[in-house]
Chain A
Amino acid sequence: MSAPLTVAVTGLNATDNPGPGVGVIRSLRHCRDDVRVVGLAYDALEPGVYADGLVSDVFLIPYPSQGIDPLRDRLSYIRERTGFDVIIPTLDAELPGFVELAPELAAQGVGTLLPTREQLDLRCKAKLAALGDKGLPVPASRVLTDVTQLYAIHEVIPFPIVVKGPYYGARVAHTLEEAVAAFYKMVGEWGYPVIVQQFVAGQELCVCAVGDGEGGLVGAVQMRKTVITDKGKGWAGVAIRDPGLSQLTATFMSATRWRGPCELEVIRDADGGYHVLEVNPRFPAWCFLSAGAGMNLPYAVAELAAGRELSPLHDYRVGTMFVRIALDQISDMDAFSRMSTAGEVVRSHGVAR
């Protein structure tokens, strides 16, 4: 048994459109008592802050929009306080910052397993077409910077279409009016550009995968959503194995030499064709299914990021289900007060080494 591992994890916003942090943390703790978790939050009210069975210490970190210097300063403070060995960022908008900081973090002995900036740009929503050039099936899409470009969009992509923001957000539009409304909503929330994609009907399948950065696959778990919320998020799902999807995952890894976790969102249409809708450059919120089904991908990432030898990864059990529940945690004012004044809640007793 190796020394205990302290892992810092972001994305504690376990709301009805959940960040992946809580799923990653539960995976890290699954059947393991040698993992200490430090939560990194952006807001004092992120629900994961109040899950004291999961996260021993929580610290606020600056928003990605604040730039790299505040993040560097804050991480160095948190590292002094907690001595974390590894960081697993889980939110799209924060990744450019963490990718840029990764070499500095490595020099200080903090491990990460992240894609390169080029890989990050390659899969960004505005560039999905570029994955098509690499042999992956992607639906027709256009990148728009002006609402007037929507007026003729039906000539290239017939309605219904999906209107997406550069980081998050997607709305299906059946008419020009709906498309215009969705366009402004995306711009208001996430800025330009806006991506318009062909709407493809079929079964929604997802792959949570980890790439080794050399073109190989560390491990992958496939899932079909069985309950979908009104925001299009999977609320329940089942582990499946589809050889076509396995092939697609392997192609993605070898084409991009992806390093670290990612999620492929795929539609399998009625004719058995596959369409890659999106590649998320981080763990999905449902990644606890990987641990539950026997292939603990978040723990594998923590081990690889820490530079440790990978514990053997077993194949996952097809048919394992996840069913999410919403539950109300009870907290007194104390944790909230400490988060909003000091920006931290330390439940452990300092550095556990």
Chain B
Amino acid sequence: MSRPLYDRPILARHQTGLMNKFSRVASMQPQTHVDGVPVQTLIEAYGSPLFVFSEKTIVARYRELRDAFARRFSKVRVAWSYKTNYLDAICRVLHREGAWAEVVSEFEWEKARHNGVPGERIHLNGPLKTEATLRRVLPEGTLIHIDNFDELALLERLADELHLTPKVALRVNLAVESIPAWSRFGFNLESGQAMTAANRILTGKRLDLVGLHCHLGTFILDPASYREQASKLAGLANELRRAHGAIMSFLDIGGGFASRSKLKAQYLPGEQASPSFDRYAAACAEGMAALDYPAGSEPTIVLESGRALVDDSGTLLSTVIANKRMPDGQRGLVVDAGVNVLFTSFWYDHDVVPAQPFGGISEPTVMYGPLCMNIDVVRDTIQFPPMRAGDQVVFRNVGAYNVTQWMQFITYRPAVVIIGADGRHGIIRKREQLETLLASEEVPSWL
């Protein structure tokens, strides 16, 4: 008779509330492949840790979003939110699908132009628009979403100087029940500030008001919030039509749709808590029904999605460095990807699974990153099976914000690869090395 295979000895104390062995672990399946490519192959080819993007998933999510809205609105535009992930390859997948660009700095605008997006297909948003930036982008016809009165005045002056009539949109903030208002951006609706700004633009005639824009917030789990937002935005458009006869060519409902990630403060996992694009679209359509425009002049509905488009397409492969037994009895697992590359782990409980088949009893585990910093915890308390040094883990749904908010700290930033729809894979950002960093450093002659 053959002997059983060895696995690490584990003595787990029973605790009320933690005694359910049929938790996620029981049906936790190893993720050995990403889009058909073995994790092992990817790590060997590109190193660890490693971000891997799925072209197939990006395209599928884009089409799902577009179609959900296109079923309900005659004209729909998706403007890809550059800050979510501005790697050229990712942006080009989305532009190829027809996405415009939504940028919030001159750097992002340059990136979009570099990716072949014409200036007039870029929405320039956010509080950072310097005179130099505006002088550069206005002649190219970029749509400016005005944030404040100083910017409005600056635009009017530049319009005169450059003999242009810039196309502008009004960024509006408004109150929606159950969501903290993002009142720092744009003009407030309820206080009448937005109407004042619109009146000034429409009577001043130096700017061409073509759109209204509101961005509710981030990771909004309740589609009804968009119903309320859309109906308020439609209300403002109706008012402008009555007062000035102005017809907007677009109404921009911003972004904020949830991905499959799970916020730390959330009880149910993303797959149950996060609404489908269809439910968001239905809610928007109900709210937009309030719009009173003549037939044939329906505005384009603009979506500035980022996270919801790309989060589910990104995975992070990471390697186990060590196991530790913590004084409180928990197991500590040190992996080579920390908060330096997985910045979003400050807010989200990321879904993480082993990359190879596993057995044995799962234990409460804390997952630490490689930094010499106490805050470097990528997952606090998760039931996780035994792992050996050198094994790999896969963090799922981490495609949003990480490859833009990551930091070069203590170690190099890892490579990023994409797997094509046909299974080909290739690098889209090289792993940093000493030369990468030295390239922007200088040592003065006296040192």
Contacts and interface: CB of A to CB of B under 8 A. Distances in A.
B19 A74 contact: no
B23 A340 contact: no
A164 B17 CA distance: 22
Interface string A142-159: 111110010000000000
Contacts of B273: 96
B44 interface: no
Contact of A66 (B177, B180, B222, B269): B269
B26 A70 contact: yes
B272 interface: yes
B178 A63 contact: no
Contacts of A62: 20, 22-24, 26-27
Contact of B266 (A42, A191, A343): A191
Interface in B216-269: 222, 224, 265-269
A16 to B, nearest CB: 14
Given A68-B272, A70-B27, A63 B20 contact: yes
B19 A65 contact: no
A307 interface: no
A65 B268 contact: yes
A60 B267 contact: no
B292 interface: no
Given A70-B22, A74-B27, A143-B178, A44 B268 contact: no
A100 interface: yes
A191 B219 CA distance: 14
B14 interface: yes
A245 B14 CA distance: 46
A192 B268 contact: no
B16 interface: yes
Contacts of A73: 26-27
A63 B265 contact: no
B354 to A, nearest CB: 16
Given A74-B27, A145-B179, A191-B265, A60 B16 contact: no
Contacts of A166: 267
Interface string A42-86: 111100000000000000111111111110011000000000000
Given A67-B271, A74-B26, A192 B265 contact: yes
B33 interface: no
B14 A126 contact: no
Nearest to A339: B19
B213 to A, nearest CB: 23
B113 interface: no
B16 A43 contact: yes
Nearest to A97: B272
Contacts, number: 86
A74 B177 CA distance: 38
A263 to B, nearest CB: 21
A167 interface: yes
Interface string B198-222: 0000000000000000000000001
A93 interface: yes
B267 A67 contact: no
Contacts of A126: 178, 222
Interface in A141-197: 142-146, 149, 166-167, 187, 190-193
A96 B426 CA distance: 40
A127 interface: yes
A67 B268 CA distance: 7
A61 B22 contact: yes
B19 A66 contact: no
Contact of A146 (B16, B26, B180, B267): B180
B324 interface: no
Interface in B131-159: none
Report the interface size class on chain A: 35 or more
Interface string B7-42: 000000010110111111011100000000000000
A93 B268 contact: yes
A23 B20 CA distance: 23
Interface in A103-135: 126-127, 130
B254 to A, nearest CB: 18
B177 A187 contact: no
Nearest to B270: A67
Which residue of B22, B27, B222, B224 has the most chain A CB atoms within 10 A of its CB atom?
B22
B22 A74 contact: yes
Contacts of B265: 187, 191-192
A96 B16 contact: no
B20 A96 contact: no
A56 to B, nearest CB: 19
B21 to A, nearest CB: 5
A253 to B, nearest CB: 22
Interface string B163-190: 0000000000000011110000000000
Which residue of B17, B178, B269 has the most chain A CB atoms within 10 A of its CB atom?
B178
A145 B180 contact: yes
B272 A70 contact: no
A64 B268 CA distance: 7
B23 A69 contact: no
Contacts of A68: 271-272
Given A62-B24, A66-B24, A96-B272, A45 B19 contact: yes
A340 B19 contact: yes
Contacts of A93: 267-268
A43 B19 contact: yes
Contacts of B28: 70
Contacts of A130: 224
Contacts of B26: 62, 70, 73-74
Contacts of A74: 22, 26-27
A100 B269 CA distance: 13
B270 to A, nearest CB: 8
B23 A343 contact: no
A124 B125 CA distance: 36
Which residue of A66, A68, A192, A193 has the most chain B CB atoms within 10 A of its CB atom?
A66
A166 B267 CA distance: 10
Given A44-B14, A126-B178, A146-B180, A67 B269 contact: yes
A65 B268 CA distance: 5
Contacts of B21: 60, 340, 343
18 contacts: A45-B19, A62-B20, A62-B22, A65-B268, A65-B269, A66-B269, A70-B24, A70-B27, A73-B26, A93-B267, A130-B224, A142-B177, A145-B178, A145-B179, A145-B180, A187-B265, A343-B20, A343-B22
Given A60-B21, A63-B23, A191-B267, 14 more contacts: A42-B20, A61-B20, A64-B267, A67-B272, A69-B27, A70-B24, A70-B26, A74-B27, A96-B268, A126-B222, A146-B180, A167-B267, A193-B178, A343-B20
Kindly list the 7 A-B residue pairs having the minimum CB-CB distance in the complex, ordered from nearest: A143-B178, A70-B27, A66-B24, A67-B269, A191-B265, A73-B27, A44-B19
